[in-house]
Amino acid sequence: MFHKPPFWGGWWDLKQKSIMRTGNVLLRKLAGLAIGAIAGILFAPEKGSITRKQIMDKGDDYVGKLKSKFDEFRDSLTEKFESTKKDAENIAEKGKAKYDDAKKDVAADINHATS
């Protein structure tokens, strides 16, 4: 499991909450689709063969919608991952730049002290 560094502060928590909200929305949509399908079966006025065909057609529609929503969720998650990765790289670059500056300062101080 990835443990957040202490210097990331609330930023990491906001990223995690955003991902969790997206997952909750997807779960609610799936539940709504299931409830709608069950209600459609229970209140179908047609005879059995027609109802089964309608259910199959609706099922295909729901599968298409679900795939679309999943693709959107995956794309959103990928974007958030890439954004987080870029932010982490920026933090690492800033840390390296500060380290390099401090290293130069120490070297300059040593050269100055030995001169």
Where do the structural domains in the chain lie, given as residue ranges?
14-88
- Selection from 94, 85, 92 nearest residue 15 by Cα: 85
Residue 69 in contact with residue 28, Cβ under 8 Å? no
Burial per residue of 37-64, b for 16 or more beta-carbon CB atoms within 10 angstroms, e otherwise:
eeeeeeeeeeeeeeeeeeeeeeeeeeee
pLDDT band of residue 1 (cuts 50, 70, 90) is very low
Percent of the chain with pLDDT over 90: 24
pLDDT at residue number 7: 52
- The number of CA neighbours under 13 Å toward the Cβ of 69 is 16
Model-level pTM?
A: 0.45
